[in-house]
Amino acid sequence: MNTTTFSLSAAAVGLALLVFAHWLGVDYLYFAGYTILQFIVLATAWNILGGYCGYVNFGSAAFFAIGAYSSVFWYKFYPLPVPVLIVFGAIVSGIIGLGTGYLTLRLRGAFFSIATLAMAVVFQTLVVNWDYVGGSRGAYIIRPETVEFAGLEVHYIEYLFALMLALAVIALITARTIERSQLGYGLATIRDDEMAAEACGVPTLRLKLIATTLSGAFMGMAGAPFPYYIGYLQPQSAFGLEYAVNSIAMPMIGGTTTWLGPLIGSILLGSAQQYATVTISSAVNLLIVGLMLVAFVIIAPNGLIGLVQERRRARKQP
């Protein structure tokens, strides 16, 4: 399927989901759906650097939080519509992604991962000490009850759901396009063997910087509407461990080498977490992630997609 056909199909599926959700008209579906869609964007963004390029980023929560806090900043300074905030979130997080990449990409393996973790701590400390965006006490965002969207008066949560759905579709189209492009091949060579990639003429540093920028920008996009979704943003929730862990766990469970992996992982893990939240407690979310991650590392180290690909290959070969 070529990129145009895929993009149109993805947009059609997104639209169908939106119409279906509107037809059901259940507010909880929007809340739960928003969270799952947000994880699709985060996991897809993580996968651009971690999956395609092989650089494991433990600082996803920081990029997400930067997107969220850029919205808080604008809310206080000059309130803007959420789609504009998403663009600003993407720009700020993308620039920080580029800067962080430039500083850390000469590190490899565990050293790179530790550096991204440290970067998250640095940004959290900065936000905690920045009074204008609420500092350690947090910031309240008062969102309107309804908003006019496509000529209709809709609940704000439905509006946010629609925006996050659009972001998820854009993220998936971008990831699939990268995967099948020259850039995608180049990133895969870095994941496989960076020295051999350079010897083949691949400008590894430039490609890694593109990957960190894109990855950071999408994480920032996922974070930008978050203050409007949650209503009260504090550093502990924006920089929460669950974002960093889920961003890694979801692609690992689905499979890191294709765009489909993060999508499957996010739907599986996100749905399980939402189910646990309403039936048991939100506190078991991380336990579910941990258990599923351990199970998949043992049963399918290359994720569900990797498992299917291996079986297909084994069937084809004598």
Report which of 241, 269, 243 is spatially closest to residue 255, judged by C-alpha positions.
269
Q: How far is the C-alpha of 316 from the C-alpha of 318, rounded, in Å?
A: 7
Q: Are 302 and 310 in contact (CB under 8 A)?
A: yes
Q: How far is the CB of 200 from other proteins (least distance, A)?
A: 4
Among residues 146 and 309, whose Cβ is nearest to other proteins?
309
Site for other proteins in 170-199 (CB under 8 A): 182, 185-186, 188-189, 191-193, 195-199
Secondary structure of residue 20 in the 3-state scheme: helix
User: Which residues within the stretch 98-137 sit at the binding site for other proteins (CB under 8 A)?
Assistant: none
Q: Can you list the pairs that 106-114 forms with residues at least 24 positions away whose Cβ atoms lie under 8 Å?
A: 108/194, 112/55, 112/56, 112/57, 113/56, 113/57, 113/58, 114/58
Work out whether strand 139-140 and strand 232-233 pair parallel, antiparallel, or are unpaired: antiparallel
Nearer to other proteins, 38 or 256 (CB): 256
Q: In 269-293, which positions are buried (b, 16+ CB within 10 angstroms) versus exposed (e)?
A: bbebbbebbeeeeeeebbebbeebb
Tokens matching residue 227? 């203050």
Report in angstroms how near the CB of residue 304 gets to other proteins at its nearest: 17
Q: Which is nearer to other proteins, 146 or 204 (CB)?
A: 204
Contact between 205 and other proteins by CB under 8 A: the answer reads yes
Smallest separation, CB 42 to other proteins (Å): 24
Give the binding range for other proteins (CB under 8 A) out of 32-40, 112-120, 203-211, 273-281.
203-211
What is the chain's Cα-based Rg?
A: 19
What is the total count of residues that contact other proteins (CB under 8 A)?
Answer: 22
| Residue 13 near other proteins by CB under 8 A | no
For the bound state, the minimum distance from the C-beta of residue 102 to other proteins, rounded and expressed in Å, comes to 15
Q: Which is nearer to other proteins, 271 or 309 (CB)?
A: 309
CB of 197 to other proteins, least distance (A): 7
Q: Residue from 32, 68, 202, 209 that binds other proteins (CB under 8 A)? A: 202
Determine the 3-state secondary structure of 51 from DSSP: coil
CB of residue 305 to other proteins, shortest distance in Å: 12
In the bound state with other proteins, the residue whose beta carbon lies nearer, of 31 and 185, is 185
Q: Give the nearer residue to other proteins in terms of CB position, either 54 or 235.
A: 54
Q: Does position 257 bind other proteins by CB under 8 A?
A: yes
Question: Is 304 one of the binding residues for other proteins (CB under 8 A)?
Answer: no
CB of 202 to other proteins, least distance (A): 5
Applying CB under 8 A, among 81, 144, 201, 318 the residue interacting with other proteins is 201
Q: Which of 245, 190, 211, 236 is nearest to 58 (CA)?
A: 245
Handedness of CA 142, 273, 266, 208 (dihedral sign): positive
Tokens found for residue 105: 């990409």
Q: Does residue 310 touch other proteins according to CB under 8 A? A: no
Q: Is 23 exposed, middle or buried (0-12, 13-18, 19+ CB in 10 A)?
A: exposed
Report the site for other proteins in 15-54 (rule: CB under 8 A): none
Q: Which residues bind other proteins (CB under 8 A)?
A: 182, 185-186, 188-189, 191-193, 195-205, 257, 313, 317
